[in-house]
Amino acid sequence: MELKDLKGLGAKRMAELTLQGIHTLQDLLWQLPSSYQDSTHPVAVADLRPGMTACVELQVITAPKIQYARGLSIVRANACDASGSLVLIWFNQPWMRQLLKPQQKYLLYGRLSLYQNKLTLQNARLLDQRGIIPRYKALGSIPGKTLAGFIEQALPDVELLFEEPLSAALRQRWDLCSLADALRQAHRPTDGVSLAMAKRRIGFDNLLLYQLALRGLQGEAQQGIVMEADPEMTDLFWAHAGFAPTGAQARVLAELFSDMQSGRSMNRLVQGDVGGGKTALAFACALAAARSGWQSALMAPTEILARQHYQSAQQMLEPLGVRCGLLLGGMKAAERREALQYIAEGNWQLVIGTQALFGNGVSYHRLGMVITDEQHRFGVRQRQKLHNKGEEQPPHVLVMSATPIPRTLALILYGDLDISIVDELPPGRMSVKTRIVPEGKRKGMYGFIRDKVAQGEQAYLVCPLAEESERVEAVDAQAMYKKLSQGSLRGLRLGLTWGSQPAEEKEKTISSFAAGHIDVLVATTVIEVGVNVPNATVMVIENAERFGLSQLHQLRGRVGRGTGESWCFLMGEPNERLDALCATNDGFVIAQKDLELRGPGDFLGTRQHGHTLPDAYGIGDLQLIEQSRAAVHQLTHEEALEDDLHRLVSLARQRYAPMMNEIAPN
């Protein structure tokens, strides 16, 4: 059987599959379920908690009611089991009113939340059977249910369709089932144990092949530019920096300079908490590059942060003879033409900007050093696009991240990079005092902010939403700004910014706050990566329970940048995550705790990394990550596994060909 032989697959759907990259039955069977509904064991109401996704068996108590608000239909019904009751609610599903009958029992599957202070099951699905049911995302215009039907037809031929990539010896060594069994159970699991076995095998393959692909990238860029970066250069830089380096800065700079002198292309990640002095290390590398006759480019995720880096670079590097320039997407035509000319002619030895740095028309003069800030905002492809601007030889690559990541995950995320960690803050820098503030103490907190503003200090107030939502009960920034302007903070200078705000307005607002013209900035998480405002000493985070620990830590890092005492107030009730944040300011401890509590989604999600990461299966299993790394080591060091290595490297290149082709040098 071939793809075209599937029942129900007409010309239109065949064209859609082709458009989505599905050309064979093998491609089709790699469209794994996005989730599973496990309805084998319904959960008692008494054991449910907000945030859980669960199956429940409930009796409807009263006839469902429907109301309309802002063009939205809302169906509500009360339901219970022997242990307790909750509210059922459906948005924009008016037909649920007719489906549910009082006093009848229903098997439902959905996510629990608190809505209007009541435990609520929102937009739950009605189930007609128990079991582990796979769910598929729509593939273009093909609905998930239709896709499931096509997969059902192809599944009986799975053994014929797939050649086993792992030898029996490797499977036995790592206790893995066959690929055919894994795919069969992933699509049609018979029980939880079989599904776990399938996920483990598919995850192992994903991680193994991804690491082999990254290893291939690293191996292709060994020869590099030799630059002068000796101890004398180090002493010169720190003498003009205006501060003494921490032990961590001195250690990491020695690693960077060693790479630059080695004759191989540097590919290094410098990771560390906000305030650890990573930017100074980048400037030291730019100085060494300039003194060796090479140009450097530093890419920041926002124009505001790029401008801040530019100002800092002017202060630190121009007295040492390094000319600095700025290239931004929002520049006027005449400014851009002049900037492009200065870059091409080498008048600027350090060019700072946003993604505009690797745009069309940008030509460098002996680009020898590429630096990206907040690496998790870019990913491999964008970094490599800038890397490919080097014409003579591959430039050195330095990537920086203030998002602490447990080392195990960093080795997967940045498998093509060496890793250095700045794990020490400058002396005198005070820890941010973090407190959980329940609703009853809100008035006192506003009084505290007023007192701080009266002392000439500033505050952030972060909300999870930009505007009001019928679907999510959480504080929104626009309503909070209006409420505070007319109420508890009336008379203070308030500003408002959010993610989809027009870029000019956003930049103007944040710049005004940085300049001290705004006392309290009400914002969404758009300020997570922002300007350095040493005068900001108070951070308030509304609905703190809605954020991940690592994101809370990043937001907290917006304050505590000066020499004065700083505070972070978490609005909400105490829980394990918020208590952990109050207990430490160490970002790596926080990241490890976040990993334990929520899994690696925040670190490895497609939101941050596009399609350059392995598929979903496997990335949440830390033990499997370690085992796959060990397998890579064995494959590359044991002669008996040489045939396996060649076969798997070939497969890795095939699977990650789009990534490899896009980032290959021009």
In eight-state DSSP terms, residue 518 is -
Q: What is the pLDDT of residue 408?
A: 63
Q: Which residues lie closer than 8 Å to 173 by C-beta, 6 or more apart? A: none
- SS3 per-residue string spanning 518-571: CCEEEECHHHHCCCCCCCEEEEEECCHHHCCHHHHHHHHCCCCCCCCCCEEEEE
| Of residues 74, 71, 73, 99, the one with CA closest to residue 87 | 74
Q: Residue 45 in contact with residue 139, Cβ under 8 Å?
A: no
Q: Which two tokens stand for residue 664?
A: 């290959």
Q: Which residues pair with 251 in a beta bridge?
A: none
- Strand, helix or coil for residue 377: helix
Give every residue of the chain whose pLDDT is below 70, as ranges.
Answer: 217-222, 374-392, 407-409, 411-416, 428, 467-474, 529-530, 598-622, 657-666
CATH topology agreement for domains 41-127 and 231-422: no
Distance, in Å, from the CA atom of 436 to the CA atom of 166, rounded to the nearest integer, reads 51
Please give the radius of gyration of the chain, using alpha carbons only, rounded to the nearest integer: 28
Q: Residue 94 in contact with residue 75, Cβ under 8 Å?
A: yes
- The pLDDT > 90 percentage for the chain reads 52
Cα end-to-end distance, the chain, whole Å? 40
DSSP secondary structure string for all residues of 577-593: HHHHHHH---HHHHHHH
Any idea how long the chain is?
666
**One-letter identity of residue 348:** W
Sign of CA dihedral 558, 559, 561, 562: positive
**One-letter identity of residue 243:** F
Q: What is the pLDDT of residue 195?
A: 92
For residue 606, how many C-alpha atoms fall within 13 Å in the half-sphere facing its CB?
A: 6
| Of residues 516, 571, 584, the one with CA closest to residue 540 | 571
According to CATH, what is the number of the domain 231-422?
3.40.50.300
- Strand, helix or coil for residue 188: coil
Query: CATH homologous superfamily for 41-127?
Result: Nucleic acid-binding proteins (2.40.50.140)
DSSP secondary structure string for all residues of 18-46: HHTT--SHHHHHT---SEEEE-SSPPPGG
Greatest alpha-carbon span in the chain = 83
Query: CATH homologous superfamily for 433-584?
Result: P-loop containing nucleotide triphosphate hydrolases (3.40.50.300)
| Of residues 351, 356, 357, 214, the one with CA closest to residue 663 | 214
Q: What is the pLDDT of residue 47?
A: 93
Q: What is the pLDDT of residue 610?
A: 33
pTM check: above 0.75: no
Q: Which helix (H) or strand (E) holds 462?
A: strand 458-462
Domain boundaries, the chain: 1-34+143-161, 41-127, 231-422, 433-584
Residue that has been written with the tokens 């497969």 in this structure: 651
Give me the helix-helix angle, 503-514 and 303-317, nearest 10°.
Answer: 40
In eight-state DSSP terms, residue 261 is H
Contacts 24+ apart (CB under 8 A), 166-171: 166/205, 166/644, 166/648, 167/641, 167/643, 167/644, 169/640, 169/641, 170/631, 170/641, 170/644
Alpha carbon 34 to its chain's center: 19
* CB neighbour class for 367 (10 Å; exposed up to 12, middle 13-18, buried from 19): buried
Q: Residue 189 in contact with residue 36, Cβ under 8 Å?
A: yes
In eight-state DSSP terms, residue 628 is H
Q: What is the pLDDT of residue 167?
A: 92
pLDDT tens across 430-485, in order?
Answer: 789 999 999 899 999 999 999 999 999 999 999 988 766 555 556 788 999 999 99
Helices (H), ranges, 329-389: 333-345, 380-387
Q: What is the pLDDT of residue 267?
A: 85
